[in-house]
Amino acid sequence: MKDQNIEDELVSIRSLMERSSKFISLSGLSGIMAGVYALIGAAIAYHIVYSSTGWFTSRDVVVDNITAHMETIVHLLLVAIAVLIAAMATGIFLSVKKAKRKSQSIWSSTTRSLLFNSAIPLATGGLFMLIMLSRGYYGVVAPASLIFYGLAVISGSHYTFTDVKYLGILQIILGLIAALYPGYGLIFWALGFGVLHIIYGSIMYFKYDR
Protein backbone atom coordinates (compact mmCIF):
# COMPACT_ATOMS: atom_id res chain seq x y z
CA MET A 1 0.00 0.00 0.00
CA LYS A 2 2.84 2.34 0.91
CA ASP A 3 4.63 1.55 -2.37
CA GLN A 4 1.43 2.36 -4.27
CA ASN A 5 1.18 5.76 -2.54
CA ILE A 6 4.79 6.54 -3.43
CA GLU A 7 4.15 5.57 -7.05
CA ASP A 8 1.05 7.78 -7.16
CA GLU A 9 3.03 10.70 -5.75
CA LEU A 10 5.76 10.22 -8.36
CA VAL A 11 3.15 10.22 -11.12
CA SER A 12 1.66 13.44 -9.72
CA ILE A 13 5.08 15.09 -9.50
CA ARG A 14 5.91 14.03 -13.04
CA SER A 15 2.59 15.44 -14.25
CA LEU A 16 3.19 18.76 -12.48
CA MET A 17 6.69 19.02 -13.95
CA GLU A 18 5.35 18.37 -17.43
CA ARG A 19 2.60 20.96 -17.00
CA SER A 20 5.15 23.58 -15.94
CA SER A 21 7.64 22.84 -18.72
CA LYS A 22 5.23 22.17 -21.60
CA PHE A 23 2.64 24.34 -23.34
CA ILE A 24 -0.30 21.94 -23.06
CA SER A 25 -3.05 24.44 -23.88
CA LEU A 26 -2.54 23.82 -27.59
CA SER A 27 -5.96 22.98 -29.00
CA GLY A 28 -6.43 20.06 -31.37
CA LEU A 29 -9.54 21.73 -32.72
CA SER A 30 -7.42 24.68 -33.86
CA GLY A 31 -5.42 22.25 -36.00
CA ILE A 32 -8.61 20.95 -37.58
CA MET A 33 -9.83 24.47 -38.33
CA ALA A 34 -6.43 25.48 -39.74
CA GLY A 35 -6.70 22.52 -42.11
CA VAL A 36 -10.20 23.52 -43.16
CA TYR A 37 -9.08 27.11 -43.83
CA ALA A 38 -6.12 25.81 -45.85
CA LEU A 39 -8.34 23.61 -48.02
CA ILE A 40 -10.71 26.52 -48.66
CA GLY A 41 -7.74 28.74 -49.52
CA ALA A 42 -6.30 26.06 -51.81
CA ALA A 43 -9.64 25.75 -53.62
CA ILE A 44 -9.78 29.53 -54.14
CA ALA A 45 -6.15 29.59 -55.31
CA TYR A 46 -6.82 26.70 -57.69
CA HIS A 47 -9.71 28.64 -59.19
CA ILE A 48 -7.57 31.78 -59.52
CA VAL A 49 -4.81 29.89 -61.33
CA TYR A 50 -6.80 27.57 -63.57
CA SER A 51 -9.72 29.83 -64.45
CA SER A 52 -7.36 31.76 -66.73
CA THR A 53 -5.46 28.79 -68.15
CA GLY A 54 -8.01 26.00 -68.34
CA TRP A 55 -8.70 23.30 -65.78
CA PHE A 56 -6.69 20.65 -67.62
CA THR A 57 -3.74 22.76 -68.71
CA SER A 58 -0.23 21.31 -68.40
CA ARG A 59 1.29 22.11 -64.98
CA ASP A 60 4.43 23.54 -66.61
CA VAL A 61 2.30 25.90 -68.69
CA VAL A 62 0.44 26.98 -65.54
CA VAL A 63 3.70 27.87 -63.76
CA ASP A 64 4.83 29.89 -66.78
CA ASN A 65 1.45 31.63 -66.88
CA ILE A 66 1.69 32.61 -63.20
CA THR A 67 5.10 34.16 -63.68
CA ALA A 68 3.72 36.25 -66.52
CA HIS A 69 0.82 37.71 -64.51
CA MET A 70 1.76 39.71 -61.41
CA GLU A 71 -1.93 40.19 -60.58
CA THR A 72 -2.32 36.43 -60.15
CA ILE A 73 0.64 36.35 -57.76
CA VAL A 74 -0.83 39.18 -55.68
CA HIS A 75 -4.18 37.37 -55.45
CA LEU A 76 -2.47 34.16 -54.35
CA LEU A 77 -0.49 36.03 -51.68
CA LEU A 78 -3.68 37.63 -50.37
CA VAL A 79 -5.34 34.22 -50.12
CA ALA A 80 -2.31 32.82 -48.25
CA ILE A 81 -2.27 35.78 -45.84
CA ALA A 82 -6.01 35.43 -45.19
CA VAL A 83 -5.60 31.71 -44.41
CA LEU A 84 -2.67 32.47 -42.08
CA ILE A 85 -4.57 35.17 -40.18
CA ALA A 86 -7.69 33.00 -39.83
CA ALA A 87 -5.65 30.03 -38.60
CA MET A 88 -3.66 32.10 -36.09
CA ALA A 89 -6.74 33.90 -34.75
CA THR A 90 -8.61 30.61 -34.31
CA GLY A 91 -5.58 28.95 -32.71
CA ILE A 92 -5.15 31.76 -30.17
CA PHE A 93 -8.85 31.88 -29.34
CA LEU A 94 -9.21 28.12 -28.82
CA SER A 95 -5.94 27.82 -26.89
CA VAL A 96 -6.96 30.63 -24.53
CA LYS A 97 -10.35 28.98 -24.08
CA LYS A 98 -8.74 25.62 -23.30
CA ALA A 99 -6.29 27.22 -20.86
CA LYS A 100 -9.13 28.91 -18.96
CA ARG A 101 -11.08 25.65 -18.84
CA LYS A 102 -8.08 23.87 -17.32
CA SER A 103 -7.16 26.85 -15.10
CA GLN A 104 -3.78 27.22 -16.78
CA SER A 105 -1.76 30.29 -17.66
CA ILE A 106 -1.68 30.95 -21.41
CA TRP A 107 1.37 33.25 -21.18
CA SER A 108 4.47 31.88 -19.45
CA SER A 109 8.18 31.32 -20.00
CA THR A 110 7.28 28.08 -21.78
CA THR A 111 4.95 29.92 -24.15
CA ARG A 112 7.65 32.48 -24.91
CA SER A 113 10.18 29.71 -25.59
CA LEU A 114 7.69 27.96 -27.88
CA LEU A 115 7.01 31.13 -29.86
CA PHE A 116 10.67 32.15 -30.08
CA ASN A 117 11.93 28.77 -31.26
CA SER A 118 9.10 28.43 -33.78
CA ALA A 119 9.49 31.99 -35.04
CA ILE A 120 13.12 31.56 -36.13
CA PRO A 121 12.43 28.94 -38.87
CA LEU A 122 9.18 30.69 -39.83
CA ALA A 123 10.83 34.10 -40.21
CA THR A 124 13.76 32.58 -42.10
CA GLY A 125 11.38 30.73 -44.41
CA GLY A 126 9.28 33.83 -44.96
CA LEU A 127 12.30 35.92 -45.94
CA PHE A 128 13.62 33.13 -48.16
CA MET A 129 10.29 32.88 -50.00
CA LEU A 130 10.16 36.66 -50.48
CA ILE A 131 13.64 36.56 -51.99
CA MET A 132 12.63 33.69 -54.29
CA LEU A 133 9.50 35.60 -55.35
CA SER A 134 11.54 38.71 -56.11
CA ARG A 135 13.83 36.61 -58.30
CA GLY A 136 10.93 34.96 -60.11
CA TYR A 137 11.41 31.44 -58.66
CA TYR A 138 7.70 30.90 -57.96
CA GLY A 139 7.86 27.12 -58.08
CA VAL A 140 10.01 27.12 -54.93
CA VAL A 141 7.42 28.83 -52.73
CA ALA A 142 5.12 25.87 -51.99
CA PRO A 143 7.93 23.40 -51.16
CA ALA A 144 9.76 26.02 -49.08
CA SER A 145 6.63 26.91 -47.09
CA LEU A 146 6.09 23.23 -46.19
CA ILE A 147 9.74 22.59 -45.31
CA PHE A 148 10.27 25.68 -43.15
CA TYR A 149 6.90 25.20 -41.46
CA GLY A 150 7.87 21.62 -40.67
CA LEU A 151 11.16 22.83 -39.17
CA ALA A 152 9.26 25.37 -37.06
CA VAL A 153 6.86 22.70 -35.79
CA ILE A 154 9.71 20.36 -34.85
CA SER A 155 11.55 23.19 -33.11
CA GLY A 156 8.45 24.13 -31.14
CA SER A 157 7.57 20.53 -30.28
CA HIS A 158 10.18 20.58 -27.49
CA TYR A 159 7.88 22.93 -25.58
CA THR A 160 4.52 21.28 -26.19
CA PHE A 161 3.13 17.82 -26.94
CA THR A 162 5.84 15.61 -28.43
CA ASP A 163 3.29 14.23 -30.90
CA VAL A 164 3.52 17.54 -32.76
CA LYS A 165 7.00 16.74 -34.08
CA TYR A 166 5.57 14.00 -36.30
CA LEU A 167 3.44 16.60 -38.04
CA GLY A 168 6.61 18.59 -38.67
CA ILE A 169 8.45 15.58 -40.07
CA LEU A 170 5.60 14.80 -42.45
CA GLN A 171 5.49 18.44 -43.60
CA ILE A 172 9.20 18.37 -44.42
CA ILE A 173 8.89 15.10 -46.35
CA LEU A 174 5.93 16.48 -48.29
CA GLY A 175 7.87 19.68 -49.04
CA LEU A 176 10.82 17.73 -50.40
CA ILE A 177 8.53 15.69 -52.64
CA ALA A 178 6.82 18.92 -53.78
CA ALA A 179 10.24 20.27 -54.78
CA LEU A 180 10.48 17.44 -57.31
CA TYR A 181 7.14 18.43 -58.89
CA PRO A 182 7.01 22.27 -58.94
CA GLY A 183 3.92 22.32 -61.15
CA TYR A 184 1.95 20.51 -58.44
CA GLY A 185 2.88 22.82 -55.57
CA LEU A 186 -0.70 23.86 -54.87
CA ILE A 187 -1.80 20.25 -54.47
CA PHE A 188 1.05 19.49 -52.06
CA TRP A 189 0.27 22.71 -50.19
CA ALA A 190 -3.34 21.55 -49.76
CA LEU A 191 -2.19 18.13 -48.57
CA GLY A 192 0.31 19.57 -46.09
CA PHE A 193 -1.52 22.51 -44.60
CA GLY A 194 -5.00 21.09 -45.18
CA VAL A 195 -5.23 17.31 -44.91
CA LEU A 196 -2.31 16.77 -42.51
CA HIS A 197 -3.56 19.49 -40.19
CA ILE A 198 -7.03 17.99 -40.05
CA ILE A 199 -5.64 14.51 -39.32
CA TYR A 200 -3.19 15.84 -36.72
CA GLY A 201 -5.82 18.08 -35.12
CA SER A 202 -8.29 15.20 -34.87
CA ILE A 203 -5.71 12.96 -33.17
CA MET A 204 -4.72 15.70 -30.73
CA TYR A 205 -8.35 16.55 -29.98
CA PHE A 206 -9.40 13.00 -29.10
CA LYS A 207 -6.14 12.35 -27.22
CA TYR A 208 -5.77 15.53 -25.15
CA ASP A 209 -8.83 17.79 -25.41
CA ARG A 210 -11.65 15.50 -24.33
Number of DSSP helices (H) and strands (E) in the chain, helices first: 9, 0
Whether the model pTM is above 0.75: yes
* Alpha-carbon gap, residue 134 to 47, rounded angstroms: 24
pLDDT reported for residue 160: 73
Of 119, 165, 117, 126, which is closest to residue 144 (Cα–Cα)? 126
pLDDT reported for residue 103: 66
| Mean per-residue pLDDT pooled into runs of 10, the chain (210 residues) | 51 46 65 92 83 49 51 80 89 79 68 82 91 82 91 84 86 94 85 93 79
pLDDT reported for residue 37: 94
pLDDT reported for residue 94: 81
Given a contact cutoff of 8 angstroms between Cβ atoms, the answer to whether 139 and 73 are in contact is no
